């Protein structure tokens, strides 16, 4: 009988070791699913002095987005930008857009500029500098389209136009002003032909 107890001893020790191993594994294992509290809207990461470059199919820089700070929220995949500046460079007339604040959609295709929105198109030999001011502007950077449902003020040289709303397509080159539109238009004096 004593020899039988000695033969079961290694099996009992192995069973105890296996049980202790399973128990230790269970108490030390962390929950593999991270539970996100959807009621909390807290940033999951931030970045300071952000610079993002977008290239066209030929490899030229299409635009550069710079912001003092970027804040990303994991609960809804939204992004906020503090003091964003967007420069369109791959065009004959460089354009700069800036504002105090902006939000970026989850897919990155829509940017909403908020507070002190300012756009400037550089002067060209045949065109004076043009600017636009508003408090809110939705921009689709890749399509070079924008829309404002807030009042806008456009200037080009001495010409000043104010409107209640605006839509623009920079690729096609048209601007549609809507609502009450008023302004003062100045024509360039044509150069006399010999």
Question: How far apart are the C-alpha atoms of 58 and 80, rounded to whole Å?
Answer: 30
Average pLDDT over all residues of the chain: 81
CB distance 107 to 84 below 8 Å: no
Domains of the chain: 43-184 (2.60.450.10)
- Residues 81-123 have pLDDT tens digits of 999 998 887 777 788 889 999 988 888 788 899 999 999 988 8
* Residue 146 CA: distances (Å) to CA of 35, 65, 86, 113, 132: 38, 16, 13, 10, 12
Q: What per-residue confidence (pLDDT) applies to 2?
A: 56
Token readout for 45 is: 């990461």
Q: Is the whole model's pTM more than 0.85, yes or no?
A: no
- Residues 119-156 have pLDDT tens digits of 998 888 888 888 999 999 998 877 878 899 999 999 99
DSSP state of 108: S
- Residues 28-55 have pLDDT tens digits of 776 555 555 556 777 788 889 988 888 8
């Amino acid at each position: 009988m004593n020899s039988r107890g000695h033969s079961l001893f290694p099996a009992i020790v192995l069973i105890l070791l296996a049980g202790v191993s399973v128990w230790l594994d269970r108490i030390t294992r962390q929950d593999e699913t991270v539970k996100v509290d959807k009621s909390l809207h807290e940033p999951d990461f931030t970045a300071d002095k952000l610079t993002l470059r977008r290239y066209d199919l030929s490899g030229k820089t299409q635009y550069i987005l710079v912001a003092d700070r970027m804040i990303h929220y994991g609960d809804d995949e939204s992004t906020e930008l503090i003091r964003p500046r967007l420069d369109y460079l791959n065009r004959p007339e460089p354009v700069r857009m800036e504002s105090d604040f902006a939000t970026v959609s989850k897919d990155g295709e829509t940017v909403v500029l908020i507070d002190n929105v300012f756009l400037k198109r550089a002067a060209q030999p045949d065109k004076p500098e043009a600017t636009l001011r508003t408090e809110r502007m939705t921009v689709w950077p890749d399509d070079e389209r924008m829309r404002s449902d807030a009042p806008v003020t456009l200037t080009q040289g001495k010409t000043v136009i104010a409107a209640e709303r605006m839509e623009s397509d920079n690729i096609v080159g048209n601007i549609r002003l809507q609502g009450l539109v008023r302004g003062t238009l100045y024509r360039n004096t044509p150069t006399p032909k010999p």
